[in-house]
Structure 1
């Protein structure tokens, strides 16, 4: 079923009055006035009843706000009446029924929670009521804080944003079995939805300009990111220069930006700020890079690439990413060490077969271990695992902590680091290497053809070409062509991998009468296929056309 796209209407202020008696028997009106602050997404079923909705809201707020007051709490409508039945009826409250009777989208529904003792009038000393905004997953605002003011005083509150989708979007709850995380996995949250939320602050009416030569992508990128007028909250306008130094024609409406970000991530992995084998790179201290503030710049480049519709780096060590995400687990192995002497020393310790052999190895490499704070007296051979693990953690994280902190500051651009820490399961794969490759079936499904009316002569030719296209993708997957599936995707969209944000607009296929070679418009993610009479000719022309493309900008 088609997923519905909901909109969020942001409330600037809200006044709620409730008449009650104070301890002296006098009538008192409580005024609540929420102000914007921190919000947390909680994905739940529209059929949820009031008690369960209240329980999940309080549970989520407590997970992120350790100073939250002890309950019990109650759920309130905007007029400060308790949520029991749907207003004006005897129907027990469910979110779906309330939405139906209210006649508003989920994005415009607002509920509140507050301590029951405050609501019942048992305690007039404070007000710590929290607002619950019902909205859609794609526009859920993370990391905003609310304060609710009571009569004569105010206090910071734990504001939670309940994120609702229509029932066809909902799936069974997911169970979080990762003991290292400190959050409950949101139900049905998606990676594109997270990226869409992070991209909300981008002002599409302003641009930051980048003038890039494909022969030296890094140099142009650094100039662009360090320009005083640069802002990650502006759109990116990328212009590539050709061999003669003349700007390519066309306005960047996505294609050049995506190609630039793809090339930038490819260049970034080979910078001297990283060490370790391909696909498992970790940060390492480099004095010159510190002077150039390259660690901060690299973090910002990654955040900008992902949020602005480009790829993630896909080369960082899993241990580094877990550390960045605030997860304490550490699983590095000796084969990540590129320094031959250090690697050999750790292998000798790791291979020690007895306590005496282990003691001999620790003494032989005592200077190295002492530097890392790992030198110890050993009483059993099993302690070798702890020694090696402690040293690896120091080697990858501890000794580089200052530059990692600076990298994290750059990664905080556009709230990306915060999102990584909230959603490590979804965002960590964007940063880490993945063995999964593009498949022919993925690309075939990704590109939707624009076909002529059924029964027409042209439709027959288009259908035949779609068969050639499917076979060509299979040949690419089996390395029977001059180009790879990644090359095909790059030619058509400016990306070599599927972006975390998803494609906007959706990739499509058109057909050419006047050219035997493929063409592409990466701004619209459109691949134009030639109508040819045989598969062998089609395959030859596709190979030649993509191999000889001067770049993947807009045409």
Structure 2
């Protein structure tokens, strides 16, 4: 005889999820709990999505979000015969996606035992042994102090199931639970890295690592008047003894009894009189926030620095400070500023100088021997060496006699080497006009991994004192760093090729017949690009052209771009450019500013002699120097300004990382005016000018010395 089920027991069974047998209603963890009373069926949405034997065969409004009731019941019957690998009970509906793996679990059991559930594509699930993992690039720098970018609690920067990182900036670390809560709150439209603000790459990586991102607007956008409390200003004197006769909430517009709020947290206040402040004082910090700094009086200076550079990152920084203060934790401002140098952003030169500081700590050097002008060959041999270390200084030696006078480690040799290297690299895997080059597709370069080597050498050049690049096209920069954001690629970005002309004919078609004729002439390439399709109206050409451009510049070049980016990650260059693409766009895409007499004169610091009797003569020589630069600028000399800069520093432009040390001018007092030639010391960026009595003699000797070096380097 069949046992009768009591009403309360029946209601409990209906309230439990038919798949995981759990009655808990927690949308964050298990998704929406859905009950069909007419079918006496309850399921968690995530349990349903991740079940291995049920699929959406209905319309969106049928069953439960397209899962038919009969299919769900069949899945319940199927899973009732399967034992969970965790709790050992039947009903395990979720299986590992790897076919050779036989592990099956309930969805809640899987979450407890580090299963990863990917809420995308076919909604696969992976057990702990086969789950995807993250890796930290060798070039990424882990700095202290390290905290979760969501909750700001300390976090150990070791990748695991419970600790994740941002794939874009490598500087943002998260607890898994924290980033899941953030995703549930922010939704797909606002979920992004809290540090670098990257959205697309960040969301893709979080989905891969099992973070569910709801397809909706942010929770705060759906809640009416969600920020109402922020419209109120804190208005209360928190001094131990309030001296105001009108009470702690009274605040005058000015004077002793105006309430000043904490400049950091804004949640504490005091009257000037009660806080023993001066009448003209406007900056005040509460005890909690003041305890977060080292008491040297740099609190507000640092606040202004952060706020003026990047407001969002400033907020993150100060939240960290206040969190430390509330928990009575000690922090050191100097360590924060040095340990995370790129939190402020700044200019490209400042960021590269921080990267260059990594190399200055190493006393070892990498020897580079260059035969004549075969700089590219020497550089390729360098990066393929088993002991290659990009952090070590370069010890460049040219085997030709013209450079043998300089020591191996001379910065002048290195700058000359890097200047020639950047020039020769432009003819390797790049194509297009000068100043607007893109990557070219080269099967041999792919096979030999030249794209990686070129990216590595460009990063090496930027950090070790090479010139600004300035030859990238805007399209290449957009493909590499997604800047400017939301900028579409166009036919013009494809370059000047025969196929580009055919695509332009498609774009410029005035009738459907012209469009079909243009497509016929480009049919072979359209077939390769997967763009062969029937067109029914002239408006179809816009989508067609967009798909062709996308294939030509993105899909076709995916592997070369990927390897090129991996090479650019050397010394952390790619990561920093990706974080601050606006700061670097001029360095990569814009040709450097042409030298002028004024900018050239401003580069050099004049160092006069200590003897007063010689200063007057040296001052006259400075006048000769500036006049000489003016004549070089307008073409009245045999030398150019670039030739003069090469003579003094071995660089024809200011390096991307800047000069170190700064160029300087000193003076020679020759006994014989006939032998009064200038002397350069590229190792210290120092130029010694001869003290002569006339400008004609000065010009003659300068031209001779500079031209002699120019001729030698061209041999």
TM over 0.5: yes
- Pick aligned residue for 1:266 from 423, 431, 435: 423
State the match for 2:584 in structure 1.
427
Distance 1:265 1:86, change over 3 A: farther
State the match for 1:93 in structure 2.
285
Q: CA deviation at 1:451?
A: 1.4
State the match for 1:525 in structure 2.
685
Distance in structure 2 (CA, Å) of the matches to 1:319 and 1:336 = 9
State the match for 2:660 in structure 1.
504
Q: CA deviation at 1:332?
A: 4.8
State the match for 1:358 in structure 2.
515
Q: CA deviation at 1:373?
A: 3.4
State the match for 1:228 in structure 2.
386
Query: Is residue 547 of structure 1 aligned with residue 691 of structure 2?
Result: no
Identify the range of structure 1 (207-216 vs 402-411) with the bigger mean alpha-carbon deviation.
207-216
Query: Is residue 141 of structure 1 aligned with residue 301 of structure 2?
Result: no
State the match for 2:66 in structure 1.
none
State the match for 1:217 in structure 2.
375
SS of the equivalent of 2:363 reads: strand
Q: CA deviation at 1:323?
A: 1.5
State the match for 2:99 in structure 1.
none
State the match for 2:256 in structure 1.
none
Conserved in 2, the CA contact under 8 Å of 1:112 and 1:131? no
- Pick aligned residue for 2:295 from 94, 102, 105: 102
1:88-487 aligned within 5 A = 92-93=284-285, 102-103=295-296, 113=320, 134=333, 139=338, 141=340, 163=344, 189-202=346-359, 203-243=361-401, 247-271=404-428, 273-327=429-483, 329-334=487-492, 337-339=495-497, 341-378=498-535, 384=541, 387-434=544-591, 436-453=593-610, 456-487=612-643
Distance in structure 1 (CA, Å) of the matches to 2:667 and 2:548 = 59
- Partner deviation per Cα, 1:26-57 (whole Å, 9 max, x = no partner): xxxxx9755458647xxxxxxxxxxxxxxxxx
Distance in structure 2 (CA, Å) of the matches to 1:536 and 1:354 = 71
Q: CA deviation at 1:475?
A: 2.3
Which ranges in structure 1 are unaligned for 5 or more consecutive residues?
1-9, 15-30, 41-57, 73-80, 121-126, 144-160, 164-185
Distance in structure 1 (CA, Å) of the matches to 2:600 and 2:291 = 42
TM-score in terms of structure 2 length: 0.54
- Partner deviation per Cα, 1:440-472 (whole Å, 9 max, x = no partner): 211110111111358x44222222222222222
Identify the range of structure 1 (531-540 vs 459-468) with the bigger mean alpha-carbon deviation.
531-540
State the match for 2:197 in structure 1.
63
Distance in structure 1 (CA, Å) of the matches to 2:657 and 2:337 = 11
Distance in structure 2 (CA, Å) of the matches to 1:114 and 1:377 = 61
**Higher relative strand content:** 1
Conserved in 1, the CA contact under 8 Å of 2:475 and 2:493? no
SS of the equivalent of 2:709 reads: coil
Distance 1:317 1:206, change over 3 A: same
Q: CA deviation at 1:195?
A: 1.0
Distance 1:329 1:290, change over 3 A: same
State the match for 2:245 in structure 1.
none
SS of the equivalent of 2:687 reads: strand
Conserved in 2, the CA contact under 8 Å of 1:494 and 1:552? no
Q: CA deviation at 1:419?
A: 0.5
What count of residue pairs does the alignment treat as equivalent? 450
Which ranges in structure 2 are unaligned for 5 or more consecutive residues?
1-142, 159-169, 173-191, 212-217, 221-226, 228-263, 278-283, 304-316
TM-score in terms of structure 1 length: 0.69
SS of the equivalent of 2:693 reads: coil
Conserved in 1, the CA contact under 8 Å of 2:265 and 2:322? no
State the match for 2:698 in structure 1.
538
State the match for 1:152 in structure 2.
none
SS of the equivalent of 1:547 reads: helix
Distance in structure 2 (CA, Å) of the matches to 1:235 and 1:105 = 35
Distance in structure 2 (CA, Å) of the matches to 1:338 and 1:418 = 31
